[in-house]
Copies of this chain bind each other. A is one copy, B any other.
Amino acid sequence: MKTPEELVARFREQGYKVTPQRQLIFRLLNGNTAHPTAETLYEVAAQQMPGISLRTVYQTLSELSAMGEVQHIDLGSGAVRFDPNVDDHHHVVCSTCGVVHDVYVNQTPLQFEGDVEGFAVHSTRIVFSGECAQCAHLSA
């Protein structure tokens, strides 16, 4: 993801106003590897800016997503998560605690076979599920 300063510039370019709410969200996302949902991001934001609305968080995340500045990841576990890492990467998910980490897979593009002719692949999403080291340790 771009730095908060770069995002400010991009927003201005697009004719969007640079509000304190948006700047706060830029800062909270910058370097964030927690893959937060809109809700969890809202909770953190509200601590620093009481009165900010969940609606605004949703909206700013949608804008960032539409601009390609954050990735929109849906792990089928309820809420959509946001990832400021927009590299071509994938995810590992602990099925016990739900933690998500970014990983890189170098074999892509992958070859597949099946009853699919002439399909043009635009993107590939890989999700590894299992148990993280912490959870394995706790259950042992």
Contact surface of A with B, Cβ cutoff 8 Å: 33, 74, 76, 80, 89-90, 92, 94-95, 101-107, 110-133, 136
A-B CB contact pairs (8 Å), 17 listed: A33-B115, A89-B114, A90-B112, A92-B112, A92-B121, A94-B119, A95-B122, A103-B113, A106-B111, A118-B132, A118-B133, A119-B130, A120-B130, A120-B136, A122-B130, A123-B129, A126-B126
Say whether B129 contacts A121, CB under 8 Å: yes
Contacts of A111 in B (CB 8 A): 105-107
Residue of B nearest to A105 (CB): B112
Report how many copies the assembly holds. 2
Please give the distance in Å from A83's CB to the nearest CB on chain B.
13
Contacts of A74 in B (CB 8 A): 74, 76
A129/B125 contact (C-beta < 8 A), A112-B92, A119-B92 known: yes
A107/B104 contact (C-beta < 8 A), A95-B122, A125-B129, A127-B124 known: no
Residue of B nearest to A107 (CB): B107
Please give the distance in Å from A61's CB to the nearest CB on chain B.
15
Please give the distance in Å from A81's CB to the nearest CB on chain B.
11
Q: How far is the CA of A41 from the CA of B120 in the complex (A)?
A: 28
